[in-house]
Structure 1
Amino acid sequence: MGYICYGPTPMTEDTYDLYWIASSPEVRGQGVGAALVSAMEGDLRRRNGRLIRVETSATEAYGPTRGFYASMKYGEEARIRDFYKVGDDLIILTKRL
């Protein structure tokens, strides 16, 4: 149905990166992604994690992705303009645990 990949951010204390999250198209919008993120956050709280970082694109195609993270209480921490290509910013989202 889906998977999530995350791990400690090198050279930091108690900070983690969420690298990938994906769900099958057949189950999108049914809470699979939210369940995966909630399970990750629970795991990181048990490990005394304090900050989760996510990188995403500013393009229109990633609008639903950014909306999903906003619904999970991740906020924009930084933006690097024209990072991926001209007109495609890198957005860094974070959530404090």
Structure 2
Amino acid sequence: MAAANPLNPLSSLTEYSRFAAELLDQPEVLRSTVIVWSDSPYTGTAEGEVLFRGGFRLRVRQEVDFAAALITAYGYEVYRNNERLFWYDDFPHPEDPTLVST
């Protein structure tokens, strides 16, 4: 496995964990429950919610390949108060022509 790159939070479990912890340093972030864990030195998972000022909330789940420094699977949902505004995931949606190219 390549050496960690502190400029790329996807390069190691340590860097990715630091990135998740530092979310709380952002002025618009009120709270974060994002946790990062790994069952191997090559992959990791992050999951949780980030609460922003203005009633916005981000639910996130990411799976990361540290050797390639890539997010390999993901799901995101954005809410304002209790209303889901939009979501993104890596699943194909062939029934929706606007998403076929994604």
Q: Does the alignment reach a TM-score above 0.5? A: no
* Bigger relative contact order (CA 8 A; separation at least 6): 1
TM-score normalized with structure 2 length: 0.28
**Which protein has the larger Cα radius of gyration, Structure 1 or Structure 2?**
2
